[in-house]
């Protein structure tokens, strides 16, 4: 899982039109996206040693990165993006849905598959 680029792509698809160009969205959210993606990636690799299914572990990795996810959600609501809480929640939810297959792939690769 190439975290920064993958998350940037997911957010580009998930973020509603907040009257900002893509370059602004990328610039404003870059650090929060990298922190969130880095957290998820590290946990996915660590959790891959478990005997649980990759799908279950992907959900655990995504859920465990609460602080990073909250920081991303807050950043979306701050100027210049100024998303509503509902829009930010929806964007994060869609991002998580888009990330899930990449996290599953990361777990499978960490297991040698």
DSSP-derived 3-state class of residue 43: helix
What digits encode the pLDDT tens for the residues 46-60?
A: 999 999 999 999 999
C-alpha to C-alpha distance for 88 and 72, rounded to whole angstroms: 9
DSSP H or E stretch at residue 112: none
pLDDT of residue 4: 44
Tell me the C-alpha to C-alpha distance, in Å, between residue 38 and each of 20, 35, 51, 81.
Answer: 25, 5, 22, 23
Evaluate if pTM is beyond 0.75.
yes
Q: What is the mean pLDDT of the chain?
A: 86
């Amino acid at each position: 899982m190439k975290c920064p680029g993958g998350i940037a792509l997911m957010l580009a698809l998930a973020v509603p039109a907040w009257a900002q160009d893509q370059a602004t969205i990328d610039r404003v959210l870059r650090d929060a996206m990298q922190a969130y993606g880095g957290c998820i990636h590290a946990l996915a690799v660590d959790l891959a040693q478990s005997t649980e299914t990759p799908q279950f572990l992907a959900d655990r990795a995504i859920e465990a990165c609460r602080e990073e996810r909250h920081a991303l959600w807050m950043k979306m609501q701050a100027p210049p993006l100024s998303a509503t809480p509902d829009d930010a929640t929806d964007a994060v939810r869609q991002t998580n849905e888009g990330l899930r297959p990449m996290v599953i792939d990361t777990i499978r690769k960490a297991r040698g598959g």
